Structure 1
Amino acid sequence: MARYTGPITRKSRRLRIDLVGGDQAFEKRPYPPGQHGRARIKESEYLLQLQEKQKARFTYGVMEKQFRRYYEEAVRQPGKTGEELLKILESRLDNVIYRAGLARTRRMARQLVSHGHFSVNGVHVNVPSYRVSQYDIIDIRDKSLDTVPFQIARETVGDRPIPSWLQVVGEHQRILIHQLPERVQIEVPLIEQLIVEYYSK
């Protein structure tokens, strides 16, 4: 299955969640698109589980096959499966760049990583799904520091709260990973237990 590249606001309305963050078009019409978008639809247990899984997938920009692999990895972890799944998703490099305020959206963060703007522990990384670990250090590469996206990021620092499990340091915007996040530190409007139930069938 190819990555979804269509209108993200339409997908937000379908899933009833702002997948972008600050999407004014979604805020004006926070109901499904189409002629019967405002109609009340009786939602089955399966539909609720499917929608929650889709919310998580599109929030983090992950394809179905990869999402399933993340779930299977979470099952093998000693903690609660749903919480472990969210920790895995949060530890993706593109998400960390977004959380650190260096990109307005996860889509933009994915693009910045793919274009080779970052190094992790001194090693060039251009894979958005790269998983960070505790004590990792993420740097903007020297050649990228003065490009427009990072100039804007410096000007807008503080506009969005940065989670406590990471820190952005100095004018070069170095990112320090103090720890991987606990569930209480992950601010996404998801009911992860519904995702577990979906895959447990």
Structure 2
Amino acid sequence: MARYTGPKTKKSRAFGQPIYGYDKYYERRKYPPGHHGGGRRRRQKSDYALQLMEKQKAKYTYGVLERQFRNLFHAAESARGVTGEILIQFLESRLDNTVFRMGIAPTRRAARQLVTHKHIVLNGVLTNIPSVILRPGDVVAVRGKSQSMEVINESVNSKSDVRKFPWLEFNKDKMEGTFVSVPERENIPETINEQLIVELYSK
């Protein structure tokens, strides 16, 4: 399966929440997509359907492919602790997600593009792998030549308030931030029921 590049609002409507952030078009049409989306009575979903939808929601939210997601789940399953929480922590600790959370990019999709196009430096080393899982103390910075890019400056000046993410620190002037610690589940704002994902993979 290729990475999803289609209409964001359509996916948000399918999941019943703005998974890509605030969307004025979603706010106007909060019912499911399709010709009868707003008026047709829908049958109650089975447990399997709910579990599958939750997994799909997590995949689309973080922009992760099926194989990557499954590998992350198996890594979380073999780690010490609650599997579902560790899975969400892994997703939050990805380099592309961290670039987005720090405000360097306006969306996760844009953050992934910045990383793959070599605009981001990790611990002083240029990297183009969005899926790198960060560890406490890792330093993420915008490459010197890239600090004048309009998209980065606009995002940093409008969205670089990381105070609501206590596991991150960011310096606007240096365009450099630190992944201070692995985030606690209660501090991660995504409304994903990870227990349903665990149940799905446990079948």
Fold equivalence (TM over 0.5): yes
Task: Name 1:197's counterpart in structure 2.
Answer: 199
Give the Cα–Cα distance (whole angstroms) in 1 for the partners of residues 159 and 66 of structure 2: 33
Return the alpha-carbon distance in structure 2 between the equivalents of residues 109 and 183 of structure 1.
22
1:37-186 correspondence to structure 2 within 5 Å: 37-38=37-38, 39-41=40-42, 42-158=44-160, 162-186=164-188
Q: Which deviates more, 150-159 or 187-196?
A: 150-159
Gaps of at least 5 residues in structure 1 are none
Q: Judging changes above 3 Å, is the alpha-carbon distance between structure 1 residues 66 and 142 closer, same or farther for their aligned structure 2 residues?
A: same
Aligned to 2:21: 21
Question: Conserved in 2, the CA contact under 8 Å of 1:94 and 1:109?
Answer: yes
Distance in 1 between the 2:63 and 2:124 partners? 26
Deviation per residue, 1:115-154 (Å, 9 max, x gap): 1111111110111111111100111110000111222123
**Partner Cα separation in structure 2 for residue 175 and residue 140 of structure 1:** 9
More displaced, 15-24 or 151-160?
151-160
Question: Displacement, 1:32?
Answer: 1.1
Structure 2 residue runs of 5 or longer lacking an equivalent are none
Q: Distance in 1 between matches of 2:27 and 2:10?
A: 12
The CA deviation at 1:161 is: 5.2
CA distance in 1, matches of 2:147, 2:26: 33
In the superposition, the TM-score normalised over structure 1's length comes to: 0.95
Q: Which amino acid aligns with 2:10?
A: R
In structure 2, the CA distance between the partners of 1:82 and 1:40, relative to structure 1 (3 Å rule), is: farther
Q: Displacement, 1:158?
A: 4.9
CA RMSD of aligned residues (A): 1.4
For normalisation by structure 2, the TM-score amounts to 0.94
SS in 1 for 2:133: coil
- 8 A contact 2:102–2:160 mirrored in 1: no
